[in-house]
Amino acid sequence: AQSVTQLDSQVPVFEEAPVELRCNYSSSVSVYLFWYVQYPNQGLQLLLKYLSGSTLVKGINGFEAEFNKSQTSFHLRKPSVHISDTAEYFCAVKQGGSEKLVFGKGTKLTVNP
Amino acid sequence: DAEITQSPRHKIIETGRQVTLACHQTWNHNNMFWYRQDLGHGLRLIHYSYGVHDTNKGEVSDGYSVSRSNTEDLPLTLESAASSQTSVYFCASSVTGGASERTEAFFGQGTRLTVV
Instruction: Please determine, for residue B99, whether its predicted confidence score (pLDDT) is greater than 80.
Output: no
Terminal Cα distance for chain B, rounded: 37
Q: Quick check: helix, strand or coil at residue A7?
A: coil
Res B40: pLDDT = 85
Report CB contact under 8 Å: B35, A42. no
Res B97: pLDDT = 62
Say how far apart CA B42 and CA A105 lie, in whole Å: 4
Percent of chain A with pLDDT over 90: 74
Q: Is A7 touching B (CB cutoff 8 A)? A: no
Q: Quick check: helix, strand or coil at residue B65?
A: strand
Q: Residue A48 corresponds to which amino acid?
A: L
Best probe of the A interface among B102, B103, B106, B111, by most A CBs < 10 A, is: B102
8 Å CB contact between A106 and A23: no
Instruction: Please determine, for residue A106, whether its predicted confidence score (pLDDT) is greater than 80.
Output: yes
CB atoms within 10 A of CB A109: 21
Residues A13-29 as b or e (16 or more Cβ within 10 Å = b): beeeeebebbbbbeeee
Instruction: Measure Cα distances from A91 to A41, A101, B86, B97 in Å.
Output: 19, 10, 24, 24
Chain B residues in contact with chain A using a Cβ-Cβ cutoff of 8 Å? 31, 33, 35, 40-45, 48, 50, 58, 90, 92, 94, 96, 101-102, 104-105, 107-110
Tell me what the pLDDT averaged over chain A comes to: 92
Q: Looking at residues A77-88, what average pLDDT do you find?
A: 97
Say how far apart CA A7 and CA A33 lie, in whole Å: 16
Instruction: Please determine, for residue B98, whether its predicted confidence score (pLDDT) is greater than 60.
Output: no
DSSP 8-state assignment for residue B73: B
Instruction: Please determine, for residue A82, whether its predicted confidence score (pLDDT) is greater than 60.
Output: yes
Q: Residue B35 corresponds to which amino acid?
A: Y
pLDDT tens digit string along B34-60? 999 998 889 999 999 999 999 999 999
Q: How confident is the model at residue A51 (pLDDT cuts 50, 70, 90)?
A: confident
Contacts A–B by Cβ distance under 8 A: 48
Q: Quick check: helix, strand or coil at residue B60?
A: coil
Res B102: pLDDT = 55
Q: Quick check: helix, strand or coil at residue B64?
A: strand
Q: Quick check: helix, strand or coil at residue B110?
A: coil
Instruction: Measure Cα distances from A58 to A51, B106, B111 in Å.
Output: 12, 19, 31
8 Å CB contact between B51 and B67: no
What are the residues facing A58 on neighbouring strands? A64
Q: Looking at residues A41-48, what average pLDDT do you find?
A: 92
Q: Looking at residues B61-88, what average pLDDT do you find?
A: 97
Which comes out higher in pLDDT, residue A53 or B55? B55
